[in-house]
Structure 1
């Protein structure tokens, strides 16, 4: 049995698409179709039922996939582990991350990685939208906060410190703030997130805070701008607010009541199929964030690694 044909079959089934599998494998869709047809001819069985929109495994195809996928993953992982020590890693690495995170916190991470590995071609999509990583051929996604239910592997990268910030003019015109309870007399600018309640480290929050919320947005940049214009109090990552604090355009609100940090995760499609470029990037991300002033508890646990 041709192992390459078997590998192509496994990857097509994982992607549920010839097009997506061809993109990830760096080959042509027609090549994949031909190689899987060769595999079917060699075995004398039909593995896939092809339609215009979807692929359907036959019972024989389903059995072959379940039996052979772990073996293919182990073979590829062994090859990747051997190749990771080659002197000049090269090829394409596709990433996605939120725009503000990339520009304000991960810019130096990206720059130093490109300097260290000049033959790796980076493709970075800056967006907060939920991406089908397999369908779009993404190697690593950096995400902040609560993650959607997913079959992706999610590894914690760091915890990002946050705080409450407002324009001095706004605070002068509103009731004084002595404790988080006083926030109920203020305007709160929030993010469009499914679940991200406002919690404090050292305040008994036995009941939820009811605050006027004139604005919710998916853009930290826009929320920071509206806070600077005096429209309310915004919860922002410290690294994102600090330049405006230093310039006097924003002030920290209730700094004696720290807000719980928010988690930063690295997502990738397969624990067993981690290519060397992805492994190098995750190692680099881990090392750089451990030294970042606005990140804490930086941690990435790679397959096979023991972390205590």
Structure 2
């Protein structure tokens, strides 16, 4: 049994298809098919049931995956550790992050990391879905907002200041709130997650809010605000130009919105992938000067050494 073929089998299961595995590894799909067929011949069992639309593990395939997945991870960790101790670390690093965080904040971090470590290949998935890092073989997730309880390790990267915004026309039509309590009478749009109560510094209790719209894109919500449709809580830097042009107004400056956290999440493995450490260290070098980050609120992650 060839361990390289076993590793390839694990990759197919992680990505969900021969095509995705081939694209992620940069090899031909026909090569993958041939090597899996050879692995099945070596073992004398069928591992995968393949159709034109679906890929399903057989019982033997599920057993091989369950037994070999942690072993392959350990081998990859050992290889990563040895690679990271060299002058030119190499290998693959898989990262997931929300789309707009990637496009507007993390793109420069990723670009400079690639120039700094040209032998490390990056796979970045931009998505708002909560990915099972261990199940899908993801090394690092960058997530925004409150974190659910889990066995994963979370390191706070930074905090981003937020404000409350609406268009002048909306305020002219519906009135301008002067206290958080007034928001109960307005259309309040949630971002990323369904939030039914907003908290404000200097105001004792959470305010119940309601609105016709919830979305997972701050760009989309901002466009809705520009159509005079309601009030939303947004990163300040994302609305700064609109405020300067008079298209949006920041509300309730005496009752600041709590900042939102940006966290780096990675699996709780016995040996941390050294490339994750390299990326986080590099990110912390870059992120403090980014306009999305409130410099007075930046909190460096703890040392991973």
Kept in 2, the 8 Å contact 1:245–1:252? The answer is yes
Deviates more, 1:74-83 or 1:243-252: 243-252
Deviations 1:128-180 (A, max 9, x none): 56789999998765443467999998765433322212345654665453321
1:55 aligns with 2:53: no
Deviation at 1:48, TM superposition (A): 1.0
Deviation at 1:103, TM superposition (A): 4.5
Kept in 2, the 8 Å contact 1:161–1:260? The answer is yes
Deviations 1:113-135 (A, max 9, x none): 34434566767666656789999
Counterpart-to-counterpart distance in 2, 1:89 and 1:196: 46
What is the TM-score of this pair, normalised by structure 2?
0.72
The structure 2 residue matched to 1:296, chosen from 292, 295, 298, is: 298
Cα distance change of structure 1 residues 248 and 15 upon mapping to structure 2, 3 Å threshold: closer
Query: 1:9 maps to what in 2?
Result: 9
Instruction: Look up the SS of the partner of 1:260 in the other structure.
Output: strand
Deviation at 1:282, TM superposition (A): 3.4
Query: 2:202 maps to what in 1?
Result: 202
Counterpart-to-counterpart distance in 2, 1:242 and 1:296: 19
Cα distance change of structure 1 residues 241 and 95 upon mapping to structure 2, 3 Å threshold: same
Query: 1:252 maps to what in 2?
Result: 250
Kept in 1, the 8 Å contact 2:83–2:90? The answer is no
Query: 1:30 maps to what in 2?
Result: 30
Where do residues 232-243 of structure 1 align in structure 2 (5 Å cutoff)? 232-243=230-241
Unaligned runs of 5+ in 2: none
Deviates more, 1:62-71 or 1:262-271: 262-271
Deviates more, 1:160-169 or 1:77-86: 160-169
Deviation at 1:280, TM superposition (A): 3.4
Deviates more, 1:254-263 or 1:183-192: 183-192
Counterpart-to-counterpart distance in 2, 1:46 and 1:291: 56
Deviates more, 1:267-276 or 1:14-23: 267-276
Deviation at 1:273, TM superposition (A): 9.5
What is the TM-score of this pair, normalised by structure 1?
0.72
Kept in 1, the 8 Å contact 2:196–2:208? The answer is no
Cα distance change of structure 1 residues 2 and 109 upon mapping to structure 2, 3 Å threshold: closer
Counterpart-to-counterpart distance in 1, 2:75 and 2:92: 21
Kept in 2, the 8 Å contact 1:175–1:185? The answer is no
Aligned length: 299
Query: 1:285 maps to what in 2?
Result: 283
Instruction: Look up the SS of the partner of 1:12 in the other structure.
Output: helix
Unaligned runs of 5+ in 1: none
1:46 aligns with 2:45: yes
Deviation at 1:266, TM superposition (A): 4.6
Instruction: Look up the SS of the partner of 1:256 in the other structure.
Output: coil
Kept in 2, the 8 Å contact 1:188–1:234? The answer is yes
1:181 aligns with 2:176: no
Kept in 2, the 8 Å contact 1:155–1:266? The answer is yes
Counterpart-to-counterpart distance in 1, 2:124 and 2:7: 27
Deviations 1:252-305 (A, max 9, x none): 31122222333334567895897665553333223333454336335388xxx4
Kept in 2, the 8 Å contact 1:142–1:267? The answer is yes
Deviations 1:160-205 (A, max 9, x none): 3222123456546654533211222334344363346422243232
Counterpart-to-counterpart distance in 2, 1:12 and 1:124: 18
